[in-house]
Structure 1
Amino acid sequence: MSDRKKYAGTNEDLADHALEPTMRRLIAVALDGDTITYGDIKHMLETEEGFSTIFATRIGFVAGTLMERLQKVDPAAPLINVLVVNQIDRQPSKGAGSFMAARFGIPQLAKDGAKEKHPKLWEDTYQRAAAEVYAYEAKDWTKLFKKAFANDLTLGKIEEEREARKEGTENDGLDYNHRSYGKGGEGPEHKALREWVTANPGAIRKGFASARTETEVDLFSGDRVDAVFYCQDRTIVVEVKSLISNEIDLRRGVYQCIKYRAVKAAMDVRDDPLVEAFLVTETAVSGEIASLLRLHKIKHFVAPQNRN
C-alpha cells in the first residue's frame, strides 16, 4: 500500500541510479536531433525511475556527472550533456561551460558568468557541440553505453525509447509518420474541442468573430489542421489539445503549429501573407510549454471546459 519512492533526490542516489536512464533518454533525444529541458529530465526520473522529488538544480549535477563518466571511458565522447537545456533560452546552463572549454580549447567558457559575458561565443560553441552529438550514430551510442554502464543497449531498445518519448495520451485522429502515437482514431474529447473552436472563433479572439472557418483542413504537406479561420487581413491555423493531453501531446501541438503556419503561408498566393498559429487547450500549460510557445511566437488560448 505504500507509495514510497525507491530513491531520494540526493547526489548519492542520483549518481547511482539516475545516470543510466538519463543516458538512454539523451541518446533518443540526440538521434531525434532534439533537446530536452532540465524539467523534462526531472519529470522522467520522478515518474518513470522511482525518484522522490528532485530539486531542478540537481539535474545539472546529473548531466555533468554523466558526462564525466562517459569521458572516463572515452575522452572523445560527444558532449551529450549540452542537449539538456534551460526552458527559457533553450541552451545548456553554466555547468556545460567547463566541458565545452576543454573540448574546443576556449578557456573563457569555463569561467564564472561566461554564458552572460560571452553570449555569442557560448551559443556558437554550444551549437558546435550539439552538431557533434547529432552526427554520432546509433551503433556508436550502443558501444559507448556498454563501456560506461557494462550493460547492453540494443538498437531495438533505442528505437523503443525514441517512440516512448513521443507517446501521447490524446487521440487526435492522426497517424504521425505512419506510427500511432495515440491509441488510433480521434477521441471524443479532441473532437468536441475541435468542433467548438471551429464554431466559435470569436471566443478565441473577438476580432475573429466574423471569420470564415473550416475544420480538418488538408495541407499540401499531407497534414490536417484542426481548424482554420480566414479573416480579412490574416489566416489563423489552430491546433487543439483536450484536457486529456499530456506534456508530450502539448509539446507536439506546439511543433504542429509551427509546421502548419509555415505550410499555410507557403500555400498562400499573396505576397508575405500573414498567417498566425494558435494552440487551444482546456487546461493551463506548464512553464516549459509556455516558454516554447513564446520562443516560436505561437499564441495560446485556454478554452472553458464547461461550454454548455
Structure 2
Amino acid sequence: MSKQKTAQVANDDLRSGTKPYQEVARKVLPYLVRQAEANQPIYYSDLAEQVGMPNPRNLNFPLGCIGRGLIRLKKEHKLNASIPPIQCLVVNKQNGLPGEGIGDFLSTNYTKLTGSQKRLMVDRHLSEIYNYQHWDWVLDELGIQPVSNNIAKQLDQAKNYSSTGESEQHRLFKEYIARSPGALGLNLRLANGRTEYPLPSADRIDVVFEDKSLRIGVEVKSSLSNEADILRGLFQCVKYKHLIEAEQVVEGG
C-alpha cells in the first residue's frame, strides 16, 4: 500500500481505538508534543526507538491516525482554528522532510512539489506547530499523559556522578574515534586526532582534531555510560568549547 494512502486508511479514534496502530498513536503523540514544545523535529528512527518500535516504517499508520484524530478533535469542539498537523515533526534523515503521506494533511498536490517547495510548505507548518499554545489541552482532551521530564533528577545524578577510571570500552572507543574522523562527518583526509588533549585548565579532552585553523574537540561515551554520565558529557562539551576558543585567542595573540 502506498505511503500516500496512509492518512486515508488510518482510523481517527485516538481516545479508545484498540487496533495496534491506534495504541501506538496514543504512545507517540506525547513525544511529538515534547518535540513541539522544544521547537525540534525528530527522525523516524529516533522516534521509533523511543517508543520501542523495531521498524520505523511502522510509524506511518500511527502518524496518520494522529493527523486524523486532531482533525476530529477540532470538529468535536467546533474550534475556529485548526490544530496544527503535529505529525509533520517526524522527518527522514535523508532530506529532513516528513514522508509523502503528510501531503494529505498539507496540500492535495504535495507529492507534485519540488523538494524546495515541500521544504517551504513544511517549514510554514512547523512554525505553526511550535507556536501552538494548546498542546497540553490536546493531550488532556484525549486522555493521554504527557511524557514525564526527569531533567532535574538527571542533573542531580550528573552532579554526583563519580568515575572509577577509564574503562577498556571507553579507551577503545576513544582510539577508534581518533583514527576515524569520517565517523563524525569530518574530512576523511584529517590527520588522526590527538587523545587526552591537555587544556590550560588542566582538563583533558578525549580527542582533538586539527583542521587548518579549526580545533575540534570530541568527548566520547561508551556503551557503559548511563544517562547521568552522558548528561555530564554534554556539559563537559560546553566547557571544553569555550576553553578551546580561549586557548586559540591566547595563541593568536
TM-score by length of 2: 0.64
SS in 2 for 1:241: coil
1:42–1:208 Cα change, 3 Å: closer
Matching of residues 192-207 of structure 1 within 5 Å: 203=179, 207=191
Give the deviation of 1:136 after TM superposition: 2.0
Q: Identify unmatched segments of 5+ residues in structure 1.
A: 1-9, 48-52, 102-106, 165-175, 274-308
> What do residues 85-134 of structure 1 show as CA deviations (whole Å, max 9, x unaligned)?
11222221111122111xxxxx421xxx43xx511110111111111111
1:242 paired with 2:242, answer: no
Question: Which has a greater percent of helix?
Answer: 2
> What do residues 243-302 of structure 1 show as CA deviations (whole Å, max 9, x unaligned)?
2247998899799879966995587449xx9xxxxxxxxxxxxxxxxxxxxxxxxxxxxx
- What is the percent sequence identity of the aligned residues? 21
Question: Counterpart of 2:79?
Answer: none
- 2 CA distance for matches of 1:256 and 1:87? 27
- 2 CA distance for matches of 1:231 and 1:211? 15
Question: Counterpart of 2:44?
Answer: 38
Alignment counterpart, residue 134 of structure 1, candidates 127, 130, 152: 130
Question: Counterpart of 1:108?
Answer: 109
Alignment counterpart, residue 88 of structure 2, candidates 65, 82, 106: 82
Once superposed, what is the RMSD of the aligned Cα atoms? 4.8
Question: Counterpart of 1:57?
Answer: 57
1:209–1:124 Cα change, 3 Å: closer
Aligned length in residues: 222
Question: Counterpart of 1:18?
Answer: 24
Give the deviation of 1:145 after TM superposition: 1.7
TM-score by length of 1: 0.54
- 2 CA distance for matches of 1:34 and 1:21? 18
- 2 CA distance for matches of 1:59 and 1:197? 32
1:142–1:232 Cα change, 3 Å: closer
Equivalent residues of 1:198, 1:228 under 8 A apart: no
Give the deviation of 1:14 after TM superposition: 2.9
- 1 CA distance for matches of 2:231 and 2:99? 21
- 2 CA distance for matches of 1:60 and 1:84? 10
1:250–1:79 Cα change, 3 Å: farther
Question: Counterpart of 1:70?
Answer: 70
Question: Counterpart of 1:213?
Answer: 197
Give the deviation of 1:242 after TM superposition: 1.2
Equivalent residues of 1:36, 1:83 under 8 A apart: yes
Q: Identify unmatched segments of 5+ residues in structure 2.
A: 1-9, 12-17, 76-81, 182-189
- Code of the residue aligned with 1:213 in structure 2: it is Y
1:144 paired with 2:124, answer: no
Equivalent residues of 1:201, 1:211 under 8 A apart: no
- 2 CA distance for matches of 1:261 and 1:86? 29
> What do residues 180-220 of structure 1 show as CA deviations (whole Å, max 9, x unaligned)?
4758425347677777888999756783478992169699x
- 1 CA distance for matches of 2:100 and 2:227? 26
